[in-house]
């Protein structure tokens, strides 16, 4: 990451970084309900509203189901709309998430990742976002507060692109990112405003001279065609995500892809992870590199749409891959990242051996030593020449 | 309705961009029984017209007579036959 000497540097936690980005974006409507560990973000944003620093209509609602419903109404009316949630709040939004995507409403939402109950837990895992994986939202994961800030700003432009017009979810790991103060380079308000540009509503309900209907009955005769066009829309987001990242690099000096490869060029083994664990994994990779091991990390930034071609390109040359999953698909063949990555590799010209580790559920800490263990395990598997056990656990007491 | 459109021809998000087009949706093919009026028994009370949930009873308001049914939209619910005070409407099975 290039350091921009002209940038303004602030000490912000992840929630504050996102709230600050929201202030700079200055959306028309924010409808949100507080939930740990996201609360801090919407509280700060509510302060910006009360201080008159934004023109946003802040809608206080009685639940997350209502928050997303209000966002849908506001977006259909023709406004630029944002919100934030976490964990069970996201789960409560579940049915309305699908509606937001189906109606092609470019809502941007920050999700502070937290474990789903039960038992009740407020700390980080990815079960909340993975539960919303199939809802039709674009999903961008952040490694740190800087990426959460940068992703939120890019998300607005991705969501609103006329070839996409889909809601975007930007995640950050609960507490690990959301509550840890980091050095964050922020852009000037004007630069952010110019980047996102004025909002161009499409089929706004408030355009009374062109009345439209949102969400009509759609049965066996047309529902399938509408889903097909939704598949097309999210596929269309690939070039848009790339283009927006390139434009963002010009204003920030920071580059983003669907994936980030860390020391993969000559690597034989790699770990794959999402979110803050990638920072820890870089430590582990560095430690093993010092011992002469050819290891690397593949970080997935964009999980939906799933960048299959890039995954194949990055992983096919490797001998072995350990996929880290911070959520469980109970009864499934591995976690959501594992199943997706393994499926992508089926068409690859060559196949690394691939194993899966569950880790970090309910906020269980993960250390570089855990990731070293995962990399040593996959090296061991490759030496044996076959995978005996696909699924393992890191940091779990037997 | 004209030939069903393919997915590429649809307005994104299934949004309806013209008002009042419910008429184009022919719900008559949902019907399993068709109402048939016997005008010899019909007393033109308009109960069927008032009760029809789909506005599918046709009347000539100037002459004050019930004239029949809009079979493009009648779903065959049978409320008209049930409410008719002179038992002038029969429900005939569709084949």
Name the DSSP letter for residue A210. Answer: S
User: Which long-range CB contacts under 8 A does A341-345 form with residues at least 24 apart?
Assistant: A341/A272, A341/A311, A341/A315, A344/A306, A344/A308, A344/A311, A344/A312, A345/A311, A345/A312, A345/A315, A345/A316
Question: How many angstroms separate the CA atoms of B26 and B16, rounded?
Answer: 16
Instruction: Provide CB contacts within 8 A for A159, sequence distance 6+.
Output: A106, A107, A108, A138, A165, A166, A167, A168
ipTM of model: 0.86
Query: Counting every residue, how long is chain A?
Result: 398
Q: Are A295 and A289 in contact (CB under 8 A)?
A: yes
Whether pLDDT at B2 is above 90 = no
Residues A244 and A263 grouped into a single domain: no
Of B5, B8, B13, the CB nearest to A103: B13
Residues A389 and A317 grouped into a single domain: yes
Residue A6 confidence (pLDDT): 64
B17: which chain A residues are within 8 Å (Cβ-Cβ)?
Answer: 203, 210, 212
SS in 3 state form for A116-145?
CCCCCCCCCCCHHHHHCCCCCCEEEECCCH
Residues of chain A with pLDDT under 50: 1
Question: Is A2 domain-assigned?
Answer: no
| Residues A163, A152, A270, A286, CA torsion sign | positive
Query: Counting every residue, how long is chain B?
Result: 95
Residue A347 confidence (pLDDT): 85
Last residue of a domain, one of A230, A252, A274: A252
Question: How many angstroms separate the CA atoms of A60 and A31, rounded?
Answer: 6
CATH number of the domain where residue A246 is located: 3.40.50.970
Residues A298 and A327 grouped into a single domain: yes
Whether pLDDT at B23 is above 90 = no
Last residue of a domain, one of A252, A267, A301: A252
Question: How many angstroms separate the CA atoms of A295 and A126, rounded?
Answer: 25
* Domain residue spans of chain B: 27-93
Of B5, B14, B19, the CB nearest to A211: B19
Percent of chain B whose pLDDT exceeds 70: 98
Residues A264 and A149 grouped into a single domain: no
Domain ranges, residue A356: 259-394
B66 band by pLDDT with thresholds 50, 70 and 90:
very high
Question: How many angstroms separate the CA atoms of B74 and B51, rounded?
Answer: 13
Residues A189 and A274 grouped into a single domain: no
> A45: alpha, beta or left, given left = phi > 0 and alpha = psi -120 to 50?
alpha
Residues A100 and A216 grouped into a single domain: yes
Residues A237 and A284 grouped into a single domain: no
Residue A87 confidence (pLDDT): 98
Instruction: Provide CB contacts within 8 A for A396, sequence distance 6+.
Output: A358, A364
Residues A247 and A274 grouped into a single domain: no
Residues A234 and A294 grouped into a single domain: no
Last residue of a domain, one of A231, A252, A273: A252
Question: Is A327 domain-assigned?
Answer: yes
Q: Give the residue from chain B lying closest to A165, CA to CA.
A: B12
Question: What token pair was written down for A207?
Answer: 């355009």
- Put simply, the answer to whether B12 touches A214 (Cβ < 8 Å) is no
Residues A235 and A277 grouped into a single domain: no
Q: Does A102 touch chain B (CB under 8 A)?
A: yes
Residue A2 confidence (pLDDT): 53
| Residues A50, A51, A52, A56, CA torsion sign | negative
pLDDT in tens, A153-207: 999 999 999 999 999 999 999 999 999 999 999 999 999 999 999 999 999 999 9
Residue B84 confidence (pLDDT): 98
Residues A181 and A305 grouped into a single domain: no
CATH number of the domain where residue A306 is located: 3.40.50.920
- Cβ neighbours of A107 (radius 10 Å): 29
Residue A3 confidence (pLDDT): 52
Q: Environment class of residue B88 by beta-carbon count within 10 Å: exposed (0-12), middle (13-18) or buried (19+)?
A: buried
Question: Is A1 domain-assigned?
Answer: no
Number of structural domains, chain A? 2
Instruction: Provide CB contacts within 8 A for A84, sequence distance 6+.
Output: A18, A32, A38, A41, A42, A45, A109, A110, A111, A112
Question: Is A140 domain-assigned?
Answer: yes
For chain A, count helices (H), then strands (E).
13, 15
B27-93: CATH topology? Alpha-Beta Plaits (3.30.70)
Q: Which residues, numbered 2 to 41 in chain B, qualify as contacts with chain A under a Cβ-Cβ cut-off of 8 Å?
A: 4-8, 10-17, 19
Residues A219 and A303 grouped into a single domain: no
């Amino acid at each position: 990451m290039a350091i921009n000497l002209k940038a303004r540097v602030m000490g912000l936690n992840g929630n504050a970084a996102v709230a600050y980005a929201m202030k700079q974006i200055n959306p028309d409507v924010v409808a949100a309900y507080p939930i740990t560990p996201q609360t801090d973000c919407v509280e700060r944003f509510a302060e910006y509203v009360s201080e008159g620093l934004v023109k946003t209509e802040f809608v206080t609602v009685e639940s997350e189901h209502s928050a997303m419903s209000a966002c849908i109404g506001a977006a259909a009316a023709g406004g630029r709309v944002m919100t934030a949630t976490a964990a069970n709040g996201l789960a409560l939004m579940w049915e309305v998430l699908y509606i937001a995507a189906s109606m092609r409403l470019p809502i941007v939402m920050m999700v502070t990742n937290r474990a789903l109950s039960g038992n009740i837990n407020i700390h980080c895992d990815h079960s909340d976002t993975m539960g919303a994986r199939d809802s039709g939202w674009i999903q961008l994961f952040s490694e740190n507060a800087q990426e959460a800030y940068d992703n939120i700003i890019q998300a607005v432009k991705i969501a609103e692109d006329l070839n996409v017009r889909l809601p975007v979810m930007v995640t950050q790991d609960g507490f690990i990112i959301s509550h840890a103060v980091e050095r964050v380079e922020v852009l000037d308000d004007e630069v952010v405003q110019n980047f996102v540009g004025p909002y161009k509503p499409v089929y706004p309900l408030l355009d009374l001279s062109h009345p439209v209907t949102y969400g009509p009955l759609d049965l066996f005769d047309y529902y399938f065609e509408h889903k097909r066009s939704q598949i097309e829309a999210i596929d269309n987001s690939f070039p848009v995500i790339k283009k927006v990242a390139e434009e963002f690099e010009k204003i920030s000096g920071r580059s983003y892809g669907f994936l980030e490869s860390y020391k993969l060029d000559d690597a034989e083994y790699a770990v794959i992870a999402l979110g803050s664990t990638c920072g820890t994994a870089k430590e582990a990779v560095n430690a093993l590199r010092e011992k002469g091991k050819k290891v690397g990390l593949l970080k997935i930034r964009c999980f939906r749409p799933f960048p299959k071609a890039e995954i194949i390109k990055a992983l096919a040359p490797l001998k072995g891959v350990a996929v880290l999953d911070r959520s469980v698909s109970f009864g499934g063949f591995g976690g959501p990242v594992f199943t997706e990555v393994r499926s992508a590799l089926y068409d690859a010209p060559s196949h690394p051996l691939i194993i899966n580790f569950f880790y970090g559920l309910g906020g269980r800490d993960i250390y570089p030593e855990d990731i070293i263990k995962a990399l040593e395990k996959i090296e061991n598997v490759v030496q044996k020449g076959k995978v005996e056990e696909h699924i393992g656990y890191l940091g779990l007491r037997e | 309705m004209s030939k069903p459109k393919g997915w590429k021809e649809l307005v994104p998000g299934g949004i309806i961009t013209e008002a009042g087009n419910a008429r184009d949706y022919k719900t008559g093919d949902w019907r399993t029984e068709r109402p048939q009026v016997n005008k010899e028994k019909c007393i033109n009370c308009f109960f069927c017209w008032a009760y029809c949930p789909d506005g599918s009873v046709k009347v000539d308001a100037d002459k004050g007579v019930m004239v029949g049914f809009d079979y493009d939209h009648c779903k065959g619910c049978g409320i008209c036959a049930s409410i008719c005070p002179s038992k002038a409407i029969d429900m005939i099975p569709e084949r």
